[in-house]
Amino acid sequence: MEWLIKFFKGSDYLVPALDIGSYSLKLVQSQRKGGKYKVKIYGKKEYREQVFAGTELVDEFELINSIKELYNELSVKDKDVIIHVPLSACFYSVISIPSSKDPEEAVIDYMKSIISPEEFAQVNIDYKVLPISIEKGTVDIAVAAVRKDFLDIRTKIAKQAGLRPVVIDIEPAAINNQFYLNNPGKTVSPVCLVDIGASFTKVIVSFGGYPYITRNVELGGQAINEHLQREFMLSSQDVELLKRGEQVKDITYDEAFNVIKKVLRKIATEIMWTIDNFKDRFNLEVEAIYLYGGSAKLKGIVDFLGELSGLEVNRGDPLGFSGIFGNEEYAVASGLSIRYKGDKDAKI
């Protein structure tokens, strides 16, 4: 009966998107009506046990169970799913080549210049000639490379949870696409999108609707927890409460924030480094920073990063396109949710 369901669903039907984060799962299913997108279902689930240690999957069983539970809780019956490759497991950049050069050749030459022949054999490379270019007389090409073994593992996990991945997108594209979905007018000047998750901070400079440069920083909510635990001798549960502004054992949020600032300073340095790198390469100034990820909820983070960077800093609203505000941790799932199989409008 699957064909019948497909028929009734119509070609505008969007399948659920699942962000497998290192701290929690986020699911978003959107729908499209009359060319407008709306959120149909969204929800998240934190793992009970540690599932990832950095990039390494340490508890496959807990991950698969959590996926099944989240689907049950949200009553999602779809088997087709859209998942992503985290920035830590992929490479993404934009290269500019003279209009006279062959794009495919340029992409291969470029990749061979940055990775070894062994690595080259282990990755899937994809590229897209962008409809915009920053410099006159050149063509901008988005280049993405993903490790094949990573794709195999993610696909296997999804299958074990009873799902069928139909689209696998890369994380910087998902974060970028949700930004332009929510801010369609913001294509004239470059922006810096920062997703501060649990294990990693993803920094992306986007311009004209496309991500241009990316940087994966090995710092996030988990690093903040470790600093707080060490400083105040607290359990990980207490630290989570403290970060959310609750007083734990006479420690005020202000005292905690002084420790949190140490990690935020390092993150800010990496953000500024990425912005400077973009400026050096493309001679354009980033105008504003948008924060995503669960750690973007930290009280005081917007003002503090604003002081450090001298730029306008905002919290992003990944589901704002549907009138749902906050929920910064849904950036990846939101961006994935507007993709579909055979998608020709895909930015990347």
Binding site for ligand ATP (CB under 6 A): 21-24, 197-200, 220-222, 240, 243-244, 293-295, 297-298, 329
Looking at beta carbons only, is 31 or 88 nearer to ligand ATP?
88
Interaction between residue 221 and Mg ion (CB under 5 A):
no
**What tokens appear for 316 in the block?**
């992003």
Which of these ranges, 13-21, 115-123, 160-168, 206-214, lies near Mg ion under the rule CB under 5 A?
Answer: 13-21
Looking at beta carbons only, is 130 or 301 nearer to ligand ATP?
301
Query: Which residue of the chain is nearest ligand ATP when measured via CB?
Result: 221
Q: Which does 340 bind (CB under 5 to 8 A by kind): Mg ion, ligand ATP, none?
A: none
Q: Which does 243 bind (CB under 5 to 8 A by kind): ligand ATP, Mg ion, none?
A: ligand ATP
Interaction between residue 335 and Mg ion (CB under 5 A):
no
Nearest distance, CB of residue 172 and Mg ion, angstroms:
12
CA distance 328 to 323: 14
Interaction between residue 318 and Mg ion (CB under 5 A):
no
Q: Which does 172 bind (CB under 5 to 8 A by kind): ligand ATP, Mg ion, none?
A: none
Interaction between residue 172 and Mg ion (CB under 5 A):
no
Residues 6+ apart with CB under 8 A from 305: 264, 268, 271, 289, 291, 313
Please give the C-alpha separations between residue 70 and each of 6, 7, 14, 251, in angstroms, as whole numbers: 23, 27, 18, 34
Candidates 55, 83, 296, 319; CA nearest to 194 is: 296
Nearest distance, CB of residue 43 and Mg ion, angstroms:
15
Q: According to CB under 5 A, which residues from 185 to 204 bind Mg ion?
A: 197
List, as one string, the DSSP characters of 192-234.
Answer: EEEEE-SS-EEEEEEETTEEEEEEEES-SHHHHHHHHHHHHT-
Is the distance from CB of 229 to CB of 236 less than 8 angstroms? yes
Nearest distance, CB of residue 35 and ligand ATP, angstroms:
30
Interaction between residue 21 and Mg ion (CB under 5 A):
yes
User: Residue 126 is which amino acid?
Assistant: D
Degrees to nearest 5, angle at CA 174 with 20 and 181 = 130
Looking at beta carbons only, is 186 or 243 nearer to ligand ATP?
243
Beta bridge partners of 291: 194, 315
Is the distance from CB of 52 to CB of 60 less than 8 angstroms? no
Q: Which does 253 bind (CB under 5 to 8 A by kind): ligand ATP, Mg ion, none?
A: none
Q: According to CB under 5 A, which residues from 66 to 95 bind Mg ion?
A: none
Nearest distance, CB of residue 23 and ligand ATP, angstroms:
3
Looking at beta carbons only, is 16 or 294 nearer to ligand ATP?
294
Nearest distance, CB of residue 21 and Mg ion, angstroms:
4
Neighbours of 246 (CB within 10 A): 11
Looking at beta carbons only, is 182 or 295 nearer to ligand ATP?
295
Q: Which does 339 bind (CB under 5 to 8 A by kind): ligand ATP, Mg ion, none?
A: none
Burial of residue 98, with CB atoms counted within 10 A of its CB: 0-12 exposed, 13-18 middle, 19 or more buried: exposed
CA distance 223 to 139: 40
User: Residue 303 is which amino acid?
Assistant: D
Looking at beta carbons only, is 141 or 336 nearer to Mg ion?
336
Interaction between residue 294 and Mg ion (CB under 5 A):
no
Which residues of the chain form contacts with Mg ion (CB under 5 A)? 21, 197
